[in-house]
Structure 1
């Protein structure tokens, strides 16, 4: 490394805090932190700082929380920090071209996918939902497009048949911290070669919503299991059990048994000792094994414990997902 870089860091959630923590442990100097304004949180709706702001305060770093970076005054304030480079990780604010042009070494982004696959808002969950077997982080030189800039460095990690959204989030957050430090070390020394993103293989990771977390049991078991894992811990896949929401936290494809009756999608089949079994797929020919679920007012439990405590709620022949429009308020 020729000399450490002066860094402006911009980020907001836990995922970004992992990169800030890694930078603080590096030889580079974080001169200021930008993060979203405090938001109401909890039952009392008390204004709460972002994880990045909390970490910045721990290290006595200057914190800026503009509502926009389009104002010339905000841009002048950023320019006055005299940083070499800006690192952006899940910041949540659009950086106009005028801001991208301020740091002499440009603006780098830590993106939670192997670009150009899964540009956009929810790359971690969409990768699992789609059945990808690999994910990773990309350090990208930012431009005016949506995750379209040239790539400087990547780190890869596998997605297994049991990986959840939360597990992959944590793994990629740590990888992102390692990768951004490695990228800055290289830029401060011999340099890195920026590679344009391939024109083929582009996919977009649309923002998650609670509405799409409602399960459609006409889909194949493998697709349902992947969605359940992807949406764990948010927004959490769900269906209706009677008139109440049943949240499904973990599931896997299962096999039909000789004693399974023909049943339409969404019908509970005779349970295993450790799993609820749901007919699914076209015509109900597939089986989904639900190994962790949550009833209203309770916590997520292993299916074995749910069956021991509330087995009558999960009797074979019970149909999930029959929506009573008069009880819309029961939806999570």
Structure 2
């Protein structure tokens, strides 16, 4: 098939690479976000998808919007059988969805209708889901609302972080996409409409919500830390009022009668803090301006930040 590919980050580039390698398909054009300033010098940087397309001599389009007639006419000129969309970052108007012969299909990092939206990988870990996956869906005007053509799932490990799960789904997605495209007309005719009663939304992450809340159970906070790794990284306010990032934790027995936020232990084995249910042992932390380090290394010279018996609380100035 003649394919127009739309995507921007590394996750999307992996899918584009699979399409390029598939001899039965031809990628006739790539759509990606305009170059953005990045790094200390704030120089314009091309997206991972653009770099890959240019390496293979594929035409690259970077419109600010697809809502105007000229952009839509340019897309129509490629005479695509299908438009494949993976983490593109621009809204596709309904008129655009109708341009390719078979419409537009999207690769989404969740088992729809669970976790529609911007952060499905992180929300699945945070919620304690047993499985994650990718869904290939036919795009509609709504947010991740289209009928599902194909899904593939995998278990979420007990120590899974957003980073590790992202890597696994980045491998699974291209496999699912190629399988779907191999028999697209049949997949479209048998597409499954999403059950609206099962919908959950994966809202965009924020630094503010990454602050650990000691009124939550320890098992929830342990997932919290894994879900926010590698961004924005879970954090707390130490007894001296400093913001400290929390990189790795485990559930630990609590102390009967201790208030949530109470520091129960601070030694080479970890910093143990009481929660609503049980306690959370912090094994790796990252002070401001430093790299992540084991609890023992953190406490060497910073023990005043976690005095046993004190109760943590407070709100960051960030």
Q: Kindly tell me the number of residue pairs found equivalent between the two proteins.
A: 316
Distance in 2, Cα, partners of 1:126 & 1:113: 10
CA RMSD between the two structures: 1.9
Deviation at 1:168, TM superposition (A): 0.8
Deviation at 1:322, TM superposition (A): 2.5
Q: Deviations over 1:206-229 (max 9, x none)?
A: 111111111211111111111111
Distance in 2, Cα, partners of 1:216 & 1:120: 24
Distance in 1, Cα, partners of 2:53 & 2:99: 22
> Which one of 11, 14, 33 corresponds to residue 15 of structure 1?
11
Distance in 2, Cα, partners of 1:150 & 1:191: 9
Change (3 A) 1:293 1:16: same
Distance in 1, Cα, partners of 2:97 & 2:187: 23
> Which one of 241, 244, 247 corresponds to residue 243 of structure 1?
241
**Unaligned runs of at least 5 residues, structure 1:** none
TM-score (ref. length: structure 2)? 0.93
> Which one of 258, 274, 277 corresponds to residue 272 of structure 2?
277
> Which one of 21, 24, 29 corresponds to residue 25 of structure 1?
21
Cross-structure match for 2:223: 226
**Unaligned runs of at least 5 residues, structure 2:** none
> Which one of 235, 243, 251 corresponds to residue 253 of structure 1?
251
> Does residue 298 of structure 1 match 2:290?
yes
Q: Deviations over 1:232-275 (max 9, x none)?
A: 0011111112232100112222113xxx5854222221136432
Distance in 1, Cα, partners of 2:200 & 2:188: 29
> Does residue 59 of structure 1 match 2:56?
yes
TM-score (ref. length: structure 1)? 0.89
Distance in 1, Cα, partners of 2:94 & 2:106: 15
Change (3 A) 1:179 1:25: same
Cross-structure match for 2:84: 87
> Which one of 70, 73, 77 corresponds to residue 74 of structure 2?
77
Cross-structure match for 1:166: 163
1:83-232 matches, cutoff 5 A: 83-187=80-184, 193-232=190-229
